[in-house]
Amino acid sequence: MRIVCAIAGIVLILGILLDAFETVVLPRRVQRSFFRLTSWFYRRTWIPYRKLAARIPSRARRENFLGYFGPLSLIFLLILWAAALVFGFALLQYGAGEHFRLGSEPLTFGVLLYHSGETFFTLGYGDIIPSSGVARALAVIEAGMGFAFLGVVIGYLPTIYSSFSRREIEISLLDARAGSPPSAAELLSRFGNCPQQAVLDQIFKDWERWAAEVLESHLSYPVLSFFRSQHNNQSWLGALTTILDATALVIAGVDGLRFEQSKITFAMARHAVVDLAQVVNARYAPTAPDRLPAQELNRLRESLAGRGVKLHEGAAFEEKLSQLRSLYEPYAVAIAANLSITLPPWIHPEKQKDNWQAGPWDRAIQARSLAGRVQSMDDHF
């Protein structure tokens, strides 16, 4: 029995160390068929959390509730690793170690579990003393591992939040460029008719780099996929989809616009959305609704033409656009369904205020200004 406990403890400790190494240290996506604790943890926690969020009728409250999952999951994953290591060392101490307890009270597995916990967190009360060479060696190793675990926590969390911050800066900048929520129609309406195409190309170049950074950070730290953006009408997936939509339109054909930079940005953004669909374990949905039916495409064409951006006419344009959309839309739709994110439309049904145009005091200020004007008119008469 003790040998079995010792073997189980070794397997558990090595499994947790491998899982922590792959999650925190290894800068690439892990692909293997057998059990992985972190993947199991997120599958068993995110799905019920998402279903619970779906019961919240208010979109703003639902987004706020979903926003807690990313940070909370980090904390509970670290707790799970620590608890598993403490339990694994308790099994090892029970199976291979010999101890002496002050007061000559009996040593049970529960007592050794307590001893493992105080050793891991370096409390060192001294009420339980390892009395064999193996037990002493295990105590030293566990105490050292406790220090290392603390170092991982100290280094891991700032790295996560630094990557999150870099991601959100560009999403915030997109507000004044493509609206809130962003849309391809708004982006091209504002920048597709600039006298110098270099302005639009520079935006696409910036988002090419952003897509590469998101791909790198979310592959290295998949938990970032669960971190919601600062505003309820923004998301990393929505921003990525908007850039893909806009570059697809330019590649398909816009009068007066070259598509060289658009093709490069589209390629990088498409690479990101395909790889990240695998990271979040998204599933292809053949019955997903069309994001751009014929009537919406006509409305998009008319809206852009009214602001000086003319899409090419004819079947060649529509066929090219449909082909480009098929390269990324199924992945974006699948990620959105998995993460409970609403994808932005190609064109808004009605005029939307940008986030920078809205504020909590706006109505009061407008009402006061209107009252002042009315009073001034009354005084005049």
Residue range 124-162, pLDDT digits in tens: 777 778 888 888 888 888 889 888 888 888 888 888 989
Residue 143 identity (one-letter amino acid): A
**CATH code (residue 18):** 1.10.287
Residues 71 and 220 in one domain: no
Whether 164 is in a domain gets the answer no
For position 324, what pLDDT does the model report? Answer: 95
55 in the same domain as 96: yes
Structure tokens at 14: 């090595």
Residues 274, 221 share a domain = yes
CA 36 and chain centroid, separation: 20
pLDDT digit string, tens, across residues 198-246: 999 999 999 999 999 999 999 888 899 999 998 888 899 999 999 999 9
CB atoms near residue 160 (< 10 Å): 20
What domain range is 231 assigned to?
A: 175-356
Model confidence over 247-271: pLDDT tens digits? 999 999 999 899 999 999 999 999 9
Which residue reads 């391809």 in tokens?
184
CB distance 93 to 113 below 8 Å: no
258 falls within a domain: yes
Q: Are residues 150 and 181 in the same domain?
A: no
Q: Do 30 and 186 meet the contact criterion of CB atoms below 8 Å apart?
A: no
Would you give the end-to-end CA distance of the chain in angstroms? 100
Between CA 342 and CA 335 the distance in angstroms is 10
Q: Which two tokens stand for residue 269?
A: 């953004």
Checking if the pLDDT of 291 tops 80, the result is: yes
| 3-class DSSP state of 103 | coil
Q: What is the pLDDT of residue 296?
A: 92
**Tens digits of per-residue pLDDT, 333-363?**
999 999 999 999 999 887 777 777 776 766 6
Asked if residue 249 belongs to a domain, the reply is yes
- What the block records as the tokens of 278 is 């695998």
**Which band of pLDDT confidence, cut at 50, 70 and 90, is reported for residue 31?**
low
Number of structural domains found in the chain: 2
Phi and psi at residue 359, in whole multiples of 5°?
-155, 155
The pair of structure tokens assigned to 107 is 């040593």
Q: Look at residue 371 and tell me if it is in a domain.
A: no
* In a shared domain, residues 323 and 228: yes
Mean pLDDT in residue range 286-302: 90
pLDDT at residue 126, rounded to an integer? 72
Is 167 domain-assigned?
no
Is the same domain home to 228 and 316?
A: yes
DSSP for 310-361 reads -BPPSHHHHHHHHHHHHHHHHHHHHHHHHHT-PPPPSS-SS----GGG--TT
205 with 278, same domain: the answer is yes
Asked which of 154, 186, 202 is the last residue of a domain, the reply is 154
Give this prediction's pTM: 0.85
Query: Are 96 and 192 found together in one domain?
Result: no
Separation between Cα atoms, residue 274 and residue 269, nearest integer Å = 9
| Average of per-residue pLDDT values in the chain | 86
- Establish if 159 belongs to a structural domain: no
Cα dihedral value 223, 226, 229, 235, nearest 10:
110
**Mean pLDDT over residues 184-204, rounded?**
89
pLDDT tens digits, one per residue of 82-107:
999 999 998 988 887 777 676 667 77
Question: Is there a domain that residue 162 lies in?
Answer: no
Same domain, 115 and 202: no
Count of other CB atoms within 10 angstroms of residue 261: 20
Instruction: Report the pLDDT value the prediction gives residue 379, as an integer from 0 to 100.
Output: 56
Do residues 339 and 225 both lie within one domain? yes
Q: Identify whether residues 203 and 79 lie together within a single domain.
A: no
Query: Do 115 and 224 sit in the same domain of this protein?
Result: no
Residues 13-26: what's their mean pLDDT?
86
Sort residue 314 into left (φ over 0), alpha (ψ -120 to 50) or beta: left
What distance in Å separates the CA atoms of residue 80 and residue 37, rounded to the nearest whole number?
Answer: 9
Asked if residue 289 is part of any domain, the answer here is yes
What local confidence, expressed as pLDDT, does residue 20 receive?
87
Has residue 280 got a pLDDT over 80? yes
